[in-house]
Chain A
Amino acid sequence: MRKKTFAVAALLAAATLTLSACGSGDSGSSPVAVVSEDGKQQAATVLDQPFPKPDLVLTDTQGKSYDLRKETAGHPTLIYFGYTNCPDVCPLTMNNIAVAKKQLTQAEQDELRVVFVTTDPDRDTPAALGKWLKGIDPQVVGLTGKFATIQAAARTLGISVEAPHKDKNGKIVSTHGTQVVAFSPKTDGGYLLYGEDADVDDYTKDLPKILKGANP
């Protein structure tokens, strides 16, 4: 029975696709989404085994040493690994979080720690990070340091990032993490994962829960 209904959904999706392929320029929503919208599921993946917070000391946008465990202990914390020369996913992820955060009370916003760790430390100096994050949310903590240190910390959260390298045209290719990890203020454990398709609405809905260390 389940299989059959899924096939129906696929047919529906295919039919809508065909339909929109005929339509002209109206910048309507992507048709496949109509189907997923109906059964919109939880954006967060709840981990049975939370990740310990990485033992990470890096440099913040002021050029000061920042001890992640010390600074974020007992605070609801979101961590993302990305880089500022990234036009698509990195700014979208950070803006999604920033816009959702603004819907909290000021006290809640002050309680929350949003940490952006660069995966491109050579280009993302404290100043470059600071400038970029100011355009998103000045409360976000931007961290830079040795790539090997950053990569090792990311790995403890199941996030794999590669060192920036040059492509055949000499352009620098960097990688970003594909997940945002949310840490509970109660346990300091990383208990929720958000993928790239988590949008403002998802974070808006979930942040009040994360503030309490609750499951969304």
Chain B
Amino acid sequence: MRRVTPAGPVRLLAVPTAVITGAVLLLTGCGSDSDGRAELSVRAAYIPQPVSDTMAAGFLTIVNKGGTKDELTSVTSTAAGSVTLHETVGSSMEEVTSLDVPAHGQLVFKSGGNHLMFEKLKSKPVQGGTVTVELHFAASDPVEVEMPVESATYNPKTGH
């Protein structure tokens, strides 16, 4: 199995201070003076081109820069009869009614973990196209996301 392994073992010892400084600097650059509200943005959204005509999975990351958590309560799309939230538990998936977007954190949908499940698609998503979805939250306003359709074997870690 794959493991996270540091690249150049011994010489890295001087690095941490520099890294911490860099991170803190950039954090302040973000402006984290939120007054008790979630500040949501979405990144890394994609749909792998599905095999099935009617069913697909979708992935994205919802980032919350605010100091208060929010909850993703539903996802809608005019492209599909239904979009549901799923958690992978062991090797089966369970539909859930909501997922937390933690304060100063993120809600990650990724292959093998949480995923959006599109069912009753009106047409098969094809690589190069997009599928528009609307994310609905317990507190924040809805967010519209254009999810690009990538290849069936797209790996966000390598970008292809």
**A interface residues (Cβ-Cβ under 8 A, vs B):** 1-2, 4-9, 11-15, 18-30, 32-33, 35-43, 45, 84-89, 91-92, 94-96, 99, 132, 135-136, 160-162, 167, 169, 171, 173-178, 195-197, 199-201
Contact = CB atoms under 8 A, between A and B. Distances in A.
Nearest to B3: A41
Nearest to B105: A21
A36 B158 CA distance: 11
User: Ordered nearest first, which 6 A-B pairs have the shortest CB separation?
Assistant: A39-B5, A33-B157, A38-B7, A87-B57, A9-B6, A15-B23
A37 to B, nearest CB: 7
B55 interface: yes
A1 B3 CA distance: 18
Contact of A162 (B92, B155, B156): B92
B23 A14 contact: yes
Nearest to B17: A11
Contacts of B55: 85, 87
Given A167-B95, A173-B93, A201-B158, A35 B152 contact: no
23 contacts: A1-B9, A4-B13, A12-B19, A18-B26, A20-B43, A21-B106, A22-B26, A23-B43, A29-B157, A43-B2, A86-B93, A87-B117, A88-B115, A89-B111, A92-B48, A95-B51, A175-B91, A176-B91, A178-B91, A196-B112, A199-B153, A200-B153, A201-B158
A19 B45 CA distance: 18
Contact of A27 (B46, B51, B157): B46
Interface string B1-41: 11111110110110110011011001101100000000001
A142 to B, nearest CB: 12
B41 A24 contact: yes
Contacts of B30: 21-22
A87 B50 contact: yes
B69 interface: no
A127 B91 CA distance: 25
Contacts of B52: 84-85, 87, 91, 132, 135
Contacts of B95: 167, 169, 171
Nearest to A7: B16
Contacts of B112: 88-89, 196-197
A92 B153 contact: yes
A21 to B, nearest CB: 5
Interface in B57-90: 57, 63, 65, 88, 90
A1 B10 contact: yes
Nearest to A41: B2
A88 B57 contact: yes
A167 to B, nearest CB: 6
B157 A37 contact: yes
Nearest to A20: B43
A33 B106 CA distance: 16
Contacts of A94: 51
Among B12, B50, B157, max chain A CB count under 10 A is at B157
A91 B51 contact: yes
A8 B6 contact: yes
Contact of A22 (B7, B27, B91, B152): B27
